[in-house]
Amino acid sequence: MGKPHPMELRERVVAFVEEGHTNRETARHFRVSPRFVNNMVILKRETGSLEPMRQGHIGGGKLSAVADWVRQQIQKDGDLTLDELRAKLAGRGVIVHRSSVGRLLHRLGFSNKKKACRPVNNCDLTSLQRAIHGSTGAARSSTKPCRG
């Protein structure tokens, strides 16, 4: 998101309009959009201030209320998948997409990645001669089974 215009500019724009100039004149004079001038006049009239509004999402969404419960569930059973956690949330009446659950876990400092728990690949390397000539390796030089 972009930065809000400086307070000095906001004050000068509204003061120029209050002197009797039109919004379009003011926009040309300060080289801003007519919409910005109009928004500043409305903001001053409604709030009495020219402070910029907060940018971004306000609030934490549906999952902010159950964040502590989710943390407890993960600490009890760290092997929960996103879909399993989503199903548990649905049981509590919170219907969300799995990506929302993933973002919540990220905010809470958890990772949903699992560690690989399989043996190292035992395939022998292809001979240098085959690699140079571009063999597809259909006939392996070893009789060991390849799990990769």
Instruction: State whether residue 3 is helix, strand or coil.
Output: coil
Tell me, what amino acid is at 131? A
List per-residue pLDDT tens for the chain, 148 residues long.
689 999 999 999 999 999 999 999 999 999 999 999 999 999 999 999 999 988 877 777 888 889 999 999 988 987 888 899 999 999 999 999 999 999 999 988 887 565 555 555 656 555 555 556 655 555 544 444 555 5
Q: pTM for the whole thing?
A: 0.46
Angle between helical axes of 23-30 and 34-47 (0-180°, round to 10): 120
Measured CA to CA in angstroms, residue 110 lies from 105, 119, 129, 148 at distances of: 5, 26, 47, 29
CB 37 within 8 A of CB 23: yes
Query: Which residue in 90, 112, 103 sits closest to 61, CA to CA?
Result: 103
CA gap 110, 104 in Å, rounded = 9
